[in-house]
Structure 1
Amino acid sequence: MFLTGLVLAAGASTRLGEAKQLLPYRGRTLLDATLDLARSCGFDQLLVTLGGAAAAIRDQVDLTGCQIVENPAFSTGCGSSVSTAARAVHARADALVLLLGDQPGVRVADVRRVATATTPLAVCRYANGLGHPFRFDQKVLPELYDLHGDKAVWKLLHSGRHPVTEVPADGPVPVDVDTRADYERLLAGDV
């Protein structure tokens, strides 16, 4: 199976007030930690979307092994990043696995279980709800081309147009850093 991983890192971090991708985390940046996780998953292709703070990210983050996808419309929401990146997915890809660049607490084992789901869509089912990573079968990729706004992938997931596998994952949904309080929770070990 040929798998493409996608790390969303194009956001402008408006709620936080500074580039969250570059926040210090375990001796590196938050995005470095997430990319280390993504590299550990063994994807055949690894895409990273950049937009807000792209120049600083290129200067400060190790992007080795990543194919950069620039999203000029990053300020319109993460749907534009997914839409832009979906067009860069390798033609041989059987599936696309979506990760958030500000969520380093996702476990490799959970990514691998989601990646091997056999339905068109898959998502992790944590103790307190659904969360990333998501998996999109190759047949669903064309629907990603028209996504826009925030929560676009959630709308597709809940649309009822495709069967969805909820892959069991231990513990709560890993911290997704959007605010200073989220970042503090992450630093406190509430991953």
Structure 2
Amino acid sequence: MPLLPKPKIAQLILAAGSSSRMGEPKQVLPWRNTTLIGHAIQRALLIKETSIYVVLGAHYDTVYKEICHFPVTILKNEEWQSGMGSTICSGIKAIQQDKLSYDGVLISLVDQPLLDIAHFNTLINQFSKKSSVIAATVLDSGIGVPAIIPSKFFDELLQLQADFGARYIIKKHIDHINTVDALDKGVDIDTIAEYHAMIKSDFSS
């Protein structure tokens, strides 16, 4: 049986938020040998044959200095204050302007550092089996990102309301998704207490 062609996937890392609950830019908090956003990019670079787009917004200059040396496309969402939907829109617009034609977009965040490359590769394997179907992550809070959204839904991503994220599209098409369980690694960081707890947990694991 011939091998299925590997789908062309663009990676979209969302990093435009102000980290209001954190009290300081979440993106540049130390994590292992880098920062949270540096870790997210290093992890993304391990996925072969994908293009990486990083959308910044709040604290743009501070975050940009941390990542400008990486081989990624850095975007600035001027309307980051209006919500995640606008950040996704700015990323999808840039992806559509690329000369490559993508089968899907892998959307991820910077505040889920425990998710490893194996999880992302499993998502890609699921998507490769059926690239017309969303491949999403099962989290404690429900089904969400990281997720690979097929290109046929790009127009819907472009039409997201400002305060709606990718989970809105996933929920809308819940009957047409494949899922990968994050187990206990899908925890995200929203407060400084959660950050310190995760640092302690990661150090002791």
Please say whether Structure 1 and Structure 2 have the same fold, judged by a TM-score greater than 0.5: yes
* TM-score where L is the length of structure 1: 0.89
Residue in 1 that maps onto 2:4: none
The question of whether the paired residues in 2 share the 8 Å contact of 1:121 and 1:163 is answered with: yes
Give percent identity, aligned residues only: 26
Offset of 1:126 from its aligned partner?
4.9
Structure 1 segments of 4+ aligned residues over 4 angstroms from their partners: 126-129
In the TM superposition, 1:33-72 aligns within 5 A as 33-61=39-67, 63-72=69-78
Q: 1:133 aligns with which of 130, 133, 146?
A: 146
CA contact (8 A) 1:128 1:173 kept: no
- Residues 120 and 140 in structure 1, CA contact (< 8 A), matched pair in contact too: no
Q: What is the one-letter code of the residue matched to 1:176? A: D
Could you tell me which residue of structure 1 aligns to residue 106 of structure 2?
A: 97
- 1:115 aligned residue: 124
Gaps of 5+ in 2: 1-6
Name the SS for the 2:172 alignment partner.
Answer: coil
Q: Deviations over 1:96-139 (max 9, x none)?
A: 00110122211212112212322431212257743421110111
Call closer, same or farther: CA 1:52–1:58 in 2, change over 3 Å.
same
CA contact (8 A) 2:140 2:186 kept: no
Whose radius of gyration is greater, 1 or 2?
2
TM-score by length of structure 2 reads 0.83
Q: Is the 8 A contact 1:130 1:173 kept in 2?
A: no
Query: Does residue 1:106 correspond to 2:115, yes or no?
Result: yes
Question: Secondary structure at the residue paired with 1:56?
Answer: helix
Instruction: State how far apart, in whole Å, the 2-side matches of 1:108 and 1:134 are.
Output: 13
Distance 1:110 1:126, change over 3 A: same
In 2 relative to 1, CA 151–115 (structure 1 residues): closer, same or farther, beyond 3 Å? Answer: farther
Alignment RMSD, CA only?
2.1
Structure whose residues are more often helix by fraction: 2
* Offset, 1:185: 2.3
CA contact (8 A) 2:145 2:166 kept: no
